[in-house]
Structure 1
Amino acid sequence: MEVKIGVLHTPREIVLESDQSAEEVEGAVSEALSGKSQLLSLTDDKGRKVLVPAERLAYVEIGEPAVRKVGFGPL
């Protein structure tokens, strides 16, 4: 699933494809914003970790699960 993270005072957003469910991502964001965790920690589909300081989060957009299209038909 695609996750977009907006960071304060940064012109570009962080975009990653994650194998985590929407509920797992939402739980991690909730913990970071409630103060239970200092960092928002997410893992992308290649196993890399993305860490963002909780006080720098502007927004987090959780997208639909990625669907791979196969073939040569119209998009």
Structure 2
Amino acid sequence: ASFTIADSVYGSTFFVATSFRGLHVIIGTSFLAICFYRLYKCHFSSDHHFGFEAAAWYWHFVDIVWLFLYIFIYWWGG
């Protein structure tokens, strides 16, 4: 059965969480594109690579948050 954002608290939570997930994926993809550009322009070195490291940490954070969202909203909530 389909549901909308106005049907219930579960529907609202589902759509808001999914939208935030999409926003974080867009931000992370932008970070990776910037890292690729900087790598192409040789801006990184073995001593100077914080931007690349920050992008990697960001993706790890997004993955862990997604696991919690999946477990608490989709698995237990459904």
Q: Which has the larger radius of gyration?
A: 2
Global fold match (TM > 0.5):
no
Bigger fraction of residues in strand: 1
Q: TM-score, normalised by structure 2?
A: 0.31
